Chains A and B, each alone.
Chain A
């Protein structure tokens, strides 16, 4: 008996059908489970386990290996600041500290209201545009401590329903790793990766 709605189960069936081995579907199903509750609940992992014929412990083993599977509720905006080597050299730790200070949310935590989660992350592949920051996995490059503070204030005040990389890059970014010729449409409406099939505007798996 599934804890998911018929609509979510329909998505799950489609995902499982894509793989010759059920267990291969574990990662997209985890995103699906995350989109149902906003984060990975124990119940969600147990449900995934049933879909792929694994034990919940095996599912947890996978889920806890990847940092983008959130096992605690995140804020409406998940603000991730890169502190790996390139960004660190460009002042990533200062950007992080500035955003922590401005938001009052320590690294890895969420404010009481459930609006902001601030975290440090390992390299997100934008080393040329260090310091790189993401909001709900929408990228901003060339962030400085001041711009980081501004970003936090903007999120708190404007509370945009959709965050979009181009808009944020214009407002809070500077140097980019390459010329962003292609203008991205849409944006993210929740703290889930953009390729997650539910709950995003951009979608991407179909």
Chain B
């Protein structure tokens, strides 16, 4: 950004008597702000187009016809402009505007959530007349109305700045709120019975300059001046948008978005914004649990740790480290993941480690794609190709950024997907194919069957977002797509997608059977190089999640360590997981909740979660950022790394980890691409994080090669099973505000398919695949093509149907 800025032409303007060099064409309000002069405003927002609706930003400029008042938010600077932002005329104009705005405003600040952090309150104090001449009745409305499950609206407080309506139209692309009626009756509202059901609705609460829009999970919970705040990163979105965590009396009460050029531009998905309630859930595991006679009983830490250490040590002694395996590590910090990676290799003596749940791309592809794109590359591409998950459901920050690029920055967007996709309305080309037919489609591209696709890609500067569109095509297709695009585009950058928390950080820490920390491939040479830090570790790559589960079933792996992992829900082949968990001899789980995967674990060790620990995380583009602690870990919970350190000592091979910060230092020494990363760097020079590798060549580079796959299956119905924003994942399940937003166990079919199946909306159908079967409620959905059944993954009451897309549909009722 800075380099771009330097190349921009500048002009000279004079603000309140001081000369400044500012970028030509910049809006006056922004140019002044960047030079330290804050012009009051209500409707203008840095991340949205100006509208000039509120007139609060009036300033006086000199014109050939004498001084004139102009709105600073719609006036671009030009050379020699002389601006007065504080003089008597301006002050009078500001007073008048505020007097008008307050005519209908109830001034109920003492009972308003926004009081204390309200631009209207603040600017009424700083620029207002202090007294109003208006003695008539103010307009009133029913108060408050619920415009969605998450947002309340007090219309009489609204000053009609249109920030919320513009956000929903321009930024998030779901204009479900609008100005309704006219004149004195204008109000923000929804269509009757069509709520503001947007995945991004919380942003309107944050940008509303008054208390008209408030968030249900926060309403009446605190006063802003009582809140403690710390900046951090969200793990509910793999772009790791910057957030501020607000607590009162050690309880997390809200997250707000922090503006950040590199990632989220200040916006958050509702999942990232409201996904905090699980932190204070009564269901948290607060003390160690040990299984006795089939029941979990509370235990002292030393007992529980000793028990786990004894059994893990015994299995290691009897059957070797290969008889142990580690699953998980994608939901914590890099420091936790590093401790886990080291624990597995050094202490357990195994490379059977995997942070992915058998539903993800190859580890080398995710961690070390040679030409990995940055999020900001989306803005400058000729063409964005999205052949992967629905970004709106799984990668909300990338969704907003791709949407902006296609809508405002002239970037061509091509979407390849088996059904309706959140970006369809901004796509220049949309290619729909049957689930499981990805390779056949790619071959068709190769034959030149899709000239519009070729035109958008061939010889162009392409950024490709590739990932698993569903489970049908397997993890190799995205690699093939990347290789194909690279062969056609003039330049191609690739963002391989995975949607789980801190997966990229976990892989960078070596939580894959064939990786070591720092994007290093595991082989005898690299294992040898690590020996100085970790001692002797097994040099042969271990098993991935699927291999681990199969080996458990075969009796070759006896003990499992789960860290923030719920394979029973997340691994698509549920039959295999069930069998493995039946067969496992000993299971230790480090986790925040009891769930399907650790319900019968031998030991559960209670873990701290986000906001309760410090550390770093690594996002989808390889950006390392800080997460920060603000509250004490509740009960007896502890950080993953500290638990693992104690276990290592009891097993007789202490790792010597002493604090999160020293682990970060150790990572910088051990993991090549992390050299130079420190908390100081991230806290002072790079608050928005650094993208790795910082400099020099990366130790491991993955170049996808063209791979062959199977053709599209011949079947009456094929299954498109994909993740959606709200599911029955462990943390969402314990976040009451979001839990109820999940669609549940539904099967979407095209209305045209309904008659031939004899199904109608709400009917119950049985879906049978080779790997699973279960009953679902029918939703008739135009977005799902005929012949496709769309099932959102991991829903309450649902079952996993596996990866084979051939599905049989029968109506039950």
Q: Which residues of A contact B (CB under 8 A)?
A: 1, 42, 45-46, 53-61, 64-67
Interface residues of B in 176-232 (CB under 8 A from A): 176-182, 189-194
- Contact call A55/B192, Cβ cutoff below 8 A: no
* Pairs A-B, 10 closest by C-beta atoms: A61-B178, A56-B191, A57-B178, A57-B191, A64-B181, A64-B180, A65-B182, A55-B175, A57-B176, A60-B191
* List of A residues within 8 angstroms of B174 by Cβ: 55
- Contact call B194/A57, Cβ cutoff below 8 A: yes
Q: Closest Cβ of chain A: how far from B119's Cβ, in Å?
A: 25
B751 within 8 A of A: yes
User: Nearest residue in A to B193 (C-beta to C-beta)?
Assistant: A42
* List of B residues within 8 angstroms of A60 by Cβ: 178, 180, 191
* List of B residues within 8 angstroms of A54 by Cβ: 175
Q: Closest Cβ of chain B: how far from A39's Cβ, in Å?
A: 14
* List of A residues within 8 angstroms of B180 by Cβ: 57, 60-61, 64
- Contact call B182/A64, Cβ cutoff below 8 A: yes
Q: Which residues of B contact A (CB under 8 A)?
A: 169, 174-182, 189-194, 425, 751
User: Nearest residue in B to A42 (C-beta to C-beta)?
Assistant: B192
* List of B residues within 8 angstroms of A65 by Cβ: 181-182
**How far apart are the CA atoms of A57 and B147 in the complex, in Å?**
12
List, sorted by A's number, 23 A–B pairs whose CB atoms are closer than 8 Å. Answer: A42-B192, A42-B193, A45-B191, A55-B175, A55-B176, A55-B178, A55-B191, A56-B191, A56-B194, A57-B175, A57-B176, A57-B177, A57-B189, A57-B190, A57-B191, A58-B169, A60-B178, A60-B191, A61-B178, A64-B180, A64-B181, A65-B181, A66-B182
User: Nearest residue in B to A67 (C-beta to C-beta)?
Assistant: B182
* List of B residues within 8 angstroms of A61 by Cβ: 178-180
Q: Closest Cβ of chain B: how far from A18's Cβ, in Å?
A: 23
* List of A residues within 8 angstroms of B191 by Cβ: 42, 45-46, 55-57, 59-60
Q: Which of A1, A53, A58, A66 contacts B178 (CB 8 A)?
A: A58
Instruction: List 12 additional contacts besides A58-B169, A64-B180; criterion CB under 8 Å.
Output: A42-B193, A45-B191, A55-B175, A55-B176, A55-B178, A57-B178, A57-B180, A57-B189, A58-B178, A60-B178, A65-B181, A65-B182
**How far apart are the CA atoms of A61 and B189 in the complex, in Å?**
9
**How far apart are the CA atoms of A67 and B182 in the complex, in Å?**
9
With most chain B CB atoms within 10 A of its CB, the pick from A57, A64, A67 is: A57
**How far apart are the CA atoms of A193 and B125 in the complex, in Å?**
49
* List of B residues within 8 angstroms of A1 by Cβ: 751
**How far apart are the CA atoms of A59 and B425 in the complex, in Å?**
18
Q: Closest Cβ of chain B: how far from A143's Cβ, in Å?
A: 26
With most chain B CB atoms within 10 A of its CB, the pick from A1, A56, A61 is: A61
* List of B residues within 8 angstroms of A67 by Cβ: 182
* List of A residues within 8 angstroms of B179 by Cβ: 61
* List of A residues within 8 angstroms of B182 by Cβ: 64-67
* List of A residues within 8 angstroms of B189 by Cβ: 57
Q: Closest Cβ of chain B: how far from A52's Cβ, in Å?
A: 13
Q: Closest Cβ of chain A: how far from B161's Cβ, in Å?
A: 16
**How far apart are the CA atoms of A45 and B180 in the complex, in Å?**
13
**How far apart are the CA atoms of A53 and B169 in the complex, in Å?**
13
Q: Closest Cβ of chain A: how far from B369's Cβ, in Å?
A: 37
User: Nearest residue in B to A65 (C-beta to C-beta)?
Assistant: B182
User: Nearest residue in A to B181 (C-beta to C-beta)?
Assistant: A64
User: Nearest residue in A to B180 (C-beta to C-beta)?
Assistant: A64
User: Nearest residue in B to A66 (C-beta to C-beta)?
Assistant: B182
* List of A residues within 8 angstroms of B177 by Cβ: 57
Q: Closest Cβ of chain A: how far from B425's Cβ, in Å?
A: 8
* List of A residues within 8 angstroms of B190 by Cβ: 57
Q: Closest Cβ of chain A: how far from B667's Cβ, in Å?
A: 48
Q: Closest Cβ of chain B: how far from A71's Cβ, in Å?
A: 10
**How far apart are the CA atoms of A46 and B193 in the complex, in Å?**
11
* List of B residues within 8 angstroms of A64 by Cβ: 180-182
**How far apart are the CA atoms of A61 and B177 in the complex, in Å?**
9
* List of B residues within 8 angstroms of A66 by Cβ: 182
* List of A residues within 8 angstroms of B169 by Cβ: 58
* List of B residues within 8 angstroms of A46 by Cβ: 191
**How far apart are the CA atoms of A64 and B193 in the complex, in Å?**
16
Q: Closest Cβ of chain A: how far from B118's Cβ, in Å?
A: 26
**How far apart are the CA atoms of A60 and B189 in the complex, in Å?**
10
**How far apart are the CA atoms of A59 and B189 in the complex, in Å?**
12
**How far apart are the CA atoms of A61 and B179 in the complex, in Å?**
6
Q: Closest Cβ of chain A: how far from B188's Cβ, in Å?
A: 10
* List of B residues within 8 angstroms of A56 by Cβ: 191, 194
* List of B residues within 8 angstroms of A45 by Cβ: 191
